[in-house]
Amino acid sequence: MIVDYENIKFVQEGPVVTLTLSRPAALNALNSDTLIELGQAISSIGAEVHEGVRAVILTGEGKAFVAGADIAEMVGLTRTQAEYFSRRGQAVFAALEALPVPVIAAVNGFALGGGCELALACDFIYAGERAKFGQPEVNLGVIPGFGGTQRLTRLVGRAAASELIYSGRIIDAHEALRIGLVARVLPQDELLSAAMDTALEIAKKGPLAIAAAKILLMDGADIGLERACSMEATAFGATFATDDQTEGMLAFLQKRKPVFKGE
């Protein structure tokens, strides 16, 4: 299935949706129209989860993943307009993060500013060898506005996040791997196929279990360990009220592959 957008390519192949940011002449910079379309695409994926969507791949067309927010659009914003733009981007990224299926960022090139923040809103990042990451907003006299000060800190720790945000330094894929920003670095021509292989492997698993694990990973990181483990026990018990649990365990005992239905 292919859905037409102006700035995004939306392709569903079986259980996997691939979203490709497609403004290559602007290095896929995020303007208002692209944010609106991205929000619409995310909403449509959420509505289709029960129709068999099990994973999402997010990537960019050309030599950039997303080079940042559209500076030409932002330059004349007032204080109120800038805050609104920030909140709109944050809302779209939060909706992406909240999808009940894993989202893999396949970063093929520049992921700077808003592009790095978009990748951070995904569940994990695969980087091509030519990928570059950074939060260079201070070079423009502003700060990250789409969640970068918060998600980057939670992912790589305060020291590494502070160094990147304060300096505006751009790092390559291997340094991003070293600090824990990305999960894997891949040859450029293998990036999308590796992301697809992982997405298809995830699609074979129990979707209700994946959704529960995603919620725990997101919410548990910001609360105390004892409370988080209590949440885990509750969710673990809840999986035993599903048909997927019965199917998965019987399939294991019967030495066959399970057929999960998300029920």
Specify the long-range contacts of residues 6-10, CB closer than 8 Å, at least 24 apart: 6/33, 6/37, 7/31, 7/33, 7/34, 7/37, 8/34, 8/37, 8/38, 8/41, 9/61, 10/41, 10/44
The yes-or-no answer on residue 137 being catalytic is yes
Torsion angle in degrees (nearest 10) through CA of 91, 97, 98, 99: 120
Q: Are 82 and 106 in contact (CB under 8 A)?
A: no
Which entry of 48, 51, 83, 117 is annotated as an active-site residue?
A: 117
The yes-or-no answer on residue 13 being catalytic is no
DSSP 215: H
Angle between helices 79-98 and 32-48 (to 10 degrees): 20
Which entry of 48, 83, 97, 137 is annotated as an active-site residue?
A: 137
Longest dimension (CA), the chain: 65
SS3 44: helix
Q: Are 195 and 202 in contact (CB under 8 A)?
A: no
Q: Which residues are catalytic?
A: 117, 137
